[in-house]
Amino acid sequence: MMDKIYMNQLQFYGYHGLFPEENKLGQRFIVDAVLELDLRQAGESDDMTQSIHYGQAYDVIKGIVEGRAKNLVEAVAEEIAKQLFATFTLLEACTVKVIKPDPPIAGHYESVAVEIRRERP
């Protein structure tokens, strides 16, 4: 079992969705990310190069959620995972949850979400 870095409830404004109003007006998105890697060396050496810089990971996620619109939150989650692996060579696996608190659907609910877990290819 790997060590984990948790990034919880990252909030962004994006334009993802199937409906034209989502692409035009945009909406809030919340992202949870769990980054899995061996943190022993970082803990023993107190050396940032042996871990993942939270600020850089945040910027990767922000760039995707606030970037080019996608139809599906599934595609947003996949792109986040892909870019995290491309950016951080120490990353061995990640879980990405993309939450849409206000999707344009009728009914009473807290949110809808997609969660994926990917391992380094």
pLDDT at position 1: 72
The predicted structure's pLDDT at residue 20: 87
Which single residue is written with the structure tokens 């344009």?
A: 104
Q: Is the pTM of this model over 0.85?
A: yes
The residue-averaged pLDDT of 62-73 equals 97
- pLDDT > 70: what percent of the chain? 100
> Tell me, what's the pLDDT at 105?
82
Mean pLDDT of 54-62: 98
- Mean pLDDT confidence for 65-87: 98
Long-range contacts of 112-116 (CB under 8 A, 24+ apart): 112/73, 113/73, 114/72, 114/73, 114/74, 114/77, 115/32, 115/77, 116/74, 116/77, 116/78, 116/81
Domains of the chain: 3-119 (3.30.1130.10)
pLDDT over threshold 90, residue 108: no
CA distance linking residue 47 with residue 36, whole number of Å: 17
Average pLDDT over residues 2-31: 95
pLDDT above 90 for 104: no
Average pLDDT, integer, range 97-103: 93
pLDDT higher than threshold 90 for residue 103: no
Question: What whole-number distance in Å separates Cα of residue 11 and Cα of residue 99?
Answer: 9
**Which residues are annotated as catalytic?**
100
Q: In which region does residue 61 sit, left (phi positive, over 0), alpha (psi from -120 to 50) or beta (all else)?
A: alpha
- Asked if 95 and 39 count as a contact pair (C-beta separation under 8 A), the reply is no
